[in-house]
Structure 1
């Protein structure tokens, strides 16, 4: 393990490199952008994209393709869930459901969303599965999320066919299923209507939501793909055909 002094020096070196433009990286790789890549400015070390496209890539899994909306995904998710319930006894359906349950059970202890700071992306992904377990989210919902992404990607004439994009799209769906920590409590305060002679009960709430972006989405998406990929290989065409009935 590195010492605090080594870590401090490393941080300073990276900061200095990020602040020094490298003019070999003059343009963002997105066609038609025209802006310099972040490594070509004093704004970072990214040699591929400008700041706006780098941010888009972190959130959506593609530097130019937006995420599918809930409305766009809804019919695919409904069709996938209906098919899963109808065919719950099929071997590969049981296999996928069991694999998602395995993610829940191997995730470790539940961690509140406001305690995630400082954790690695992989540990944050595990914490997400622990939140899913605590919220008792049906594993079939997770399976349906991946199947929905596979189907909508196949139907989209301008789709991005990379595994990373599919993983991020599925992860964003699943991330919303149990994304935050919510606290609610009561306390007694002086009642101004009675000049402080009486008290009243005040209800306070606070909500914490982890960011839906970055490497944590890639870890969650990879977990989902590994759980569902065999089911998709064997039955995706059947599930897609069921939408037309």
Structure 2
């Protein structure tokens, strides 16, 4: 079995595909409704602590990732690129979309927070990396072009696939950028819900 990304040969095809997309062969990704309160709380916390040395460090490191990601690559030109180059292209798309680095840092914090509060959380770091990468992948995830006017208008919408080694590279880079912040401030991260209540 395994996946076309060569990620694993231990699972049947459905589980291997699930693993490629979600970072776990069994645990599904967190849904938008589940993660939204954590993203909002994480962003508000970052904004309230912008003068904190470790908050500033994480934001600056993400800004560096965006600025050093190289030229923008259109989504329909990604075919044939290595996973590393596709990951760089994902950062470049975020930069071109002028995504605030604080939103990117907040994505990692949100995953840290929801896993902390999840009694059945997947504990492997790969799951965390993939979950965070999927969040930022959606912030600027495609190429959109439009030609002509009126009834002759033509449109092109291409979205890169959110799966495989690309997510692992994006997630690992984000983990490294936020490493000091998590190391020194994880205990101070807010709880959107009372402890044990995520309803």
Q: TM-score, normalised by structure 2?
A: 0.91
More relative contact order in 1 or in 2 (CA 8 Å, sep 6+)? 2
The 8 Å contact of residues 170 and 221 in structure 1, kept in 2 or not, is answered as: yes
1:106 and 2:56 are equivalent in the alignment: no
The 8 Å contact of residues 181 and 208 in structure 1, kept in 2 or not, is answered as: yes
Deviations 1:37-96 (A, max 9, x none): x28xxxx99541000000000000000000001110001110000010011111111100
Instruction: Give 2:14's match in structure 1, choosing from 52, 58, 61.
Output: 52
- The alignment's C-alpha RMSD in Å is 1.8
1:240 and 2:190 are equivalent in the alignment: yes
1:203 and 2:153 are equivalent in the alignment: yes
Instruction: Give 1:212's match in structure 2, choosing from 156, 162, 168.
Output: 162
Look up the SS of the partner of 1:68 in the other structure: coil
Give the 3 Å change call, closer, same or farther, for CA 77–237 of structure 1 in structure 2: same
Give the 3 Å change call, closer, same or farther, for CA 65–45 of structure 1 in structure 2: closer
Give the 3 Å change call, closer, same or farther, for CA 49–61 of structure 1 in structure 2: same
The 8 Å contact of residues 79 and 243 in structure 1, kept in 2 or not, is answered as: no
Query: Equivalents in 2 of 1:86, 1:180: separation in Å?
Result: 32
The unaligned stretches of length 5 or more in structure 1 are 1-37, 188-199
Could you tell me which residue of structure 2 aligns to residue 65 of structure 1? 27
Give the 3 Å change call, closer, same or farther, for CA 92–45 of structure 1 in structure 2: closer
Q: Which 4+ residue blocks in structure 1 deviate beyond 6 angstroms? A: none
Deviations 1:161-212 (A, max 9, x none): 111000000000000000000001215xxxxxxxxxxxx6532211000000
- Cα distance, 1:237 vs structure 2: 1.7
The unaligned stretches of length 5 or more in structure 2 are 195-199
Query: Equivalents in 1 of 2:151, 2:191: separation in Å?
Result: 56
The 8 Å contact of residues 87 and 169 in structure 2, kept in 1 or not, is answered as: yes
Look up the SS of the partner of 1:59 in the other structure: helix
Structure possessing the higher radius of gyration over alpha carbons: 1
Query: Equivalents in 1 of 2:98, 2:11: separation in Å?
Result: 39
Query: Equivalents in 2 of 1:236, 1:205: separation in Å?
Result: 45
Tell me the matched-pair count.
Answer: 191
